[in-house]
Structure formats: C-alpha cells, structure tokens
Amino acid sequence: MRRWHYSRIIPVGRLICHGVWESGAWVGVIIYGRGAARELGRPFGCSNIQVCELVRIALAPGRKVPTSRALGVSLRMLARTNPGLRCVVSYADTAQQHVGTLYQATNWIYTGETAKSYQFMYQGVWKHLRVVSGPQLDGSPAVVGWNLLPRRRTPPKHRYVYPLDERLRRVIAAQPYPKHAPHLTP
C-alpha cells in the first residue's frame, strides 16, 4: 500500500487480502473490507454481511499481468470462498481525477456519485469523517471533540457495484459511465 497506492494508507478492520503473483514474484495486493459506509449494501437490498468494499488495489508498475485480469481472478476467488456475498462496491476518487476506467473495463455497474462528505484535521493529517467520529471497525472509540476539529468538504466519489449473482445484476439501476473531461488545447 505504502509503495504502490496513491493514498499510502493501509485499511483497518477485517480484511480479505489477495496477493498478486507473477512468475513467482509478488507484484501487489487486492484488498476487500467493510469500507467506510455504514450501510454499504442498503441501496442494493443487501445486508452488511452480503456486501463488501474493494478498498485497495496496489500493484507494482512494470508487471505483465493487466490490472483488469488480476481483479477478475480476485473477484472469482472472492465469490467462491464467500458464498453468502452478493456484491462488491468500489469508489473512484474524483479528487484524484479518477472516473473508474478499471471498473468500466471489467463490467461493473455505475450507480452515480456519493454525497459530499468531510475530512477533519487530526494529528496533522486530514482524516475521513468515519475515522474521527467512530466507533471504529476495530472497536476503538471516536476521537473526543472530533466535531470541533478543523474540517473541509470533500468532493463526491463515483460509486461502482459488481454483483456476484445475476438476480442482483438485473435489479441495480445503472447510469451511464462517467468520462474524463476532454483536454482543451489552445
């Protein structure tokens, strides 16, 4: 994470980690977890034990295996080893100019943008609302006085859903995929 993911942050809580290997060498990781949203599956009619979030993909540059192939293998493994799981949710960070090209290339369903949120300055670092307001996934309490910390608004993210069963795929309302804004030339 710290070497190959733009956030440089390792997720906390219970995680499912899939190592990615190429010719016997480790080239990265794909990680699933509960994510930051408390009701992650509600919009899709899923309980919290039927849904997970793809929280990180961190792969070495210069590898031969395409990210889309590594993700496809990982999703099939996830479905096979977690039979009660109905869907995976992931987000493309608009603050990083991401539109979700990987999710589009691998047939995820685009369901629109999330609501804007806030980050709070805590111990010299901007932290997500969930990190400071708690309770945390690891059981630790909220930061005392978190609502008095300096805060800033964050832009929405693009939300994608990957149904692991066909019935769910048919009922999720898809929206057109977002595209990168064209570059303007003088």
Tally of CB atoms within 10 A around 92: 21
Among residues of the chain, what percentage have pLDDT more than 90?
54
Domains located in the chain, CATH noted? 1-115+156-175 (3.40.630.30), 117-154 (no CATH)
Among residues of the chain, what percentage have pLDDT more than 70?
85
Q: Residue 185 has what pLDDT?
A: 53
Q: Residue 116 has what pLDDT?
A: 82
Mean pLDDT of the chain: 86
Q: Above 70 in pLDDT, residue 178?
A: yes
48-105: pLDDT as tens digits = 899 999 998 999 999 899 999 999 999 999 999 999 999 999 999 888 888 999 999 9
Q: Residue 115 has what pLDDT?
A: 86
pTM above 0.85, yes or no: no
Q: Above 90 in pLDDT, residue 129?
A: no
* Rounded Cα distance, 121 and 126, in Å: 4
CA 14, 30, 54, 165 torsion: positive or negative? negative
